[in-house]
Every structure is written in structure tokens, then in C-alpha cells.
A = this chain, B = another copy of it.
Amino acid sequence: MQLLLIHSDYIEYEVKKSTPVAEKIEDSFKQGRLEEALTAFIAVEKVDEANVEGAISKAVEEIKSVATQVKAENIMVYPYAHLSSDLSSPKAGVAILKGIEDALSGEFIVKRAPFGWYKAFKISCKGHPLSELSRSIIPDESTGAESSTCGEVVKEEVVSEALKAESTAKS
């Protein structure tokens, strides 16, 4: 799974058009907005299909950790295929995104943008050093329902990731 986490003044979306794999949605789900939110752009990948529960649990752990650091109480779970060239099936993608939404909902105000729709969106990224972070997650190969505490790949520590900005650390 690829995550791009943006600490946002606001994030809003509105569905425009369905794709062939669009999730069936209620009218109330056709648009959404959160203020002062951590926006989690997420690409669910093939590798996540081998351990759906593990993928959900590792993603939730990362999102919670960053939300706590930036003191965000609101989280937007936003499907974003363009973060990966090795996407999961749509079915697994929807299941994992819903699982992440559900797991976060106890502690945060959570909205999820629908899967498989062309959407207009507006976002305002705050711009502080922790306001744009990316994470790669690889769940254990276990197909059981136990969540894993291993197998996670965090590209860098939060601080060095923050320093990455649009650069590398090798200057």
C-alpha cells in the first residue's frame, strides 16, 4: 500500500462520473468535506491482498501516528490509484479502504471518498515540515486475520522524510 498523508486546512470532493468499477453509493456520499484534517491518499496494492487485515492494521497505525503528531482530529480516507503501478483488485481495494475507515472511526472523525469515481477535489496543504509525508506498507504474507507488527516498510523516519520535501538527503 502506498500512502500520501497531507495535513490539510480543508479537503473536499464531489463525484463527477462513475468508472466501470465504481462503488455503489448513497447520495449523501457524493460529496464530502473536512476542515483541519489529515488527508490520507491511498493506493491499495496487489501485495496487500495476501493479508488484508495486516495491511489495514499497518495503515491504521501509520495514519494514527501522523494524525497524533500533527494534532489532527479529522481524517479523510481518499483512494488514489496514481500512487502505484501495481494496484490490487477493485474488490480488495474497497474492502481495505473500508477497513481503514472503520478502524479509525473510534478515535477520529473519519470520512471516506468513494472508490472508482472521477471526482473533483479541493485541498489546502498546510506546508509545515510534517504536512506532507509518504509511506510504503507491505503486510506480512500471512493470509490469516491476525494483524502483524512486522513487515512494514517505512521509507524514512518521520523527520528525515519531512526533510525530503522535493529533494534528497544526499546534498
Contact = CB atoms under 8 A, between A and B. Distances in A.
A167 B125 contact: no
A88 to B, nearest CB: 7
SS class, residues of chain A in contact with chain B: mixed
Interface residues of A, number: 53
A128 B17 contact: yes
A87 B121 contact: no
B122 A81 contact: no
B128 A118 contact: yes
Residue of A126, A127, A134 with most partner-chain B CB within 10 A: A127
Contact of A155 (B85, B115, B164, B171): B85
B131 A167 contact: no
